[in-house]
Chain A
Amino acid sequence: MTHKTISIAVEYTKTPAGRYYSDGSFTGERFREEFLYPALTKNDEVEIDLDDTLGYGSSFLEEAFGGLIREKNMDINELKDKLRIISSRALYENRIWQYLKDAQQEKNNEKTIK
């Protein structure tokens, strides 16, 4: 079983900000594409450490995590098995799981309509 921990503050940036690549240098989309999704495809379990940054905007978190379901076609049950969030501030962990649920719900609704 392979395991990887990514500390955003250490391996990415202490100042995560913005949603899309076009929003800046350390955005949610870039984190998902270059760090989070590759780690999830190569490991059985991935821990994301959110601590030691100033904070996270909802646009960053939604794009990074909700985008796994929306853009990368992952499934929330798969993510529940593989993804662990470490954070001393419950706000961000709560929000991430909510964004994942919302993205899954949206995907399910689209399938029903089709």
Chain B
Amino acid sequence: MTACEFAAVGWLIAVFVALYSNRQANKRETRKEIRDKINQLDLLLTNLLDSTNNYYLDKNALRSKESIKIYSYINDSYGIIEDLKKDIKLHAQFYVMYELITGDDFDSKQHQAGEQHAMLCKEVATQKSSLIIEAEAWFKGAFQ
């Protein structure tokens, strides 16, 4: 092998190493972005759950305040679910949460908070939990 050929092989190896490093860096960056989004989603859904519990169970809660928070958490959570959709499909579980929380007599002047809504709140909590479990399972499978 001539010196020229040695140099060419060296360059080729350097290019492959650079490409591989770049790919790994991109993967780390994607991993970090998705991790952050899942964490954000978890936090928003936890807040949504808290406001839902206040709205439906707490007779002393200011209903309109909790309702405003609920809309805000729903809109923000859905934004993240849309951002994640090319990687993870979480829409179905989220729709169930949305229907449970904002269906029935939500925002009706006839709504009365109390224990009669305990089952609804438990279902919302279960749904939230399964949505996050699915997101975490996907993340683990994709990056670990």
Contact = CB atoms under 8 A, between A and B. Distances in A.
Interface stretch (A3-11, A35-43, A57-65, A75-83): A57-65
B71 interface: yes
B107 A91 contact: no
Contacts of B110: 22-23
Contact of A17 (B95, B99, B107): B107
Contacts of B108: 17-20, 22-24, 59
Contacts of A55: 71-72, 74-75
Contact of A23 (B67, B72, B95, B107): B107
Which DSSP category, helix, strand, loop or mixed, fits chain B's interface? helix
Interface residues of A, number: 21
A57 B82 contact: no
A30 B103 CA distance: 17
Contact of A60 (B67, B82, B99, B107): B107
Choose among B72, B98, B102, B107 the residue with the greatest number of A CB atoms under 10 Å from its CB.
B107
B138 to A, nearest CB: 21
A59 B102 contact: yes
Interface of B: 67-68, 71-72, 74-75, 78-79, 82, 91, 95, 98-99, 102-110
Given A23-B110, A58-B98, 11 more contacts: A17-B67, A17-B108, A24-B109, A54-B68, A56-B102, A57-B103, A57-B106, A59-B107, A89-B75, A89-B78, A94-B91
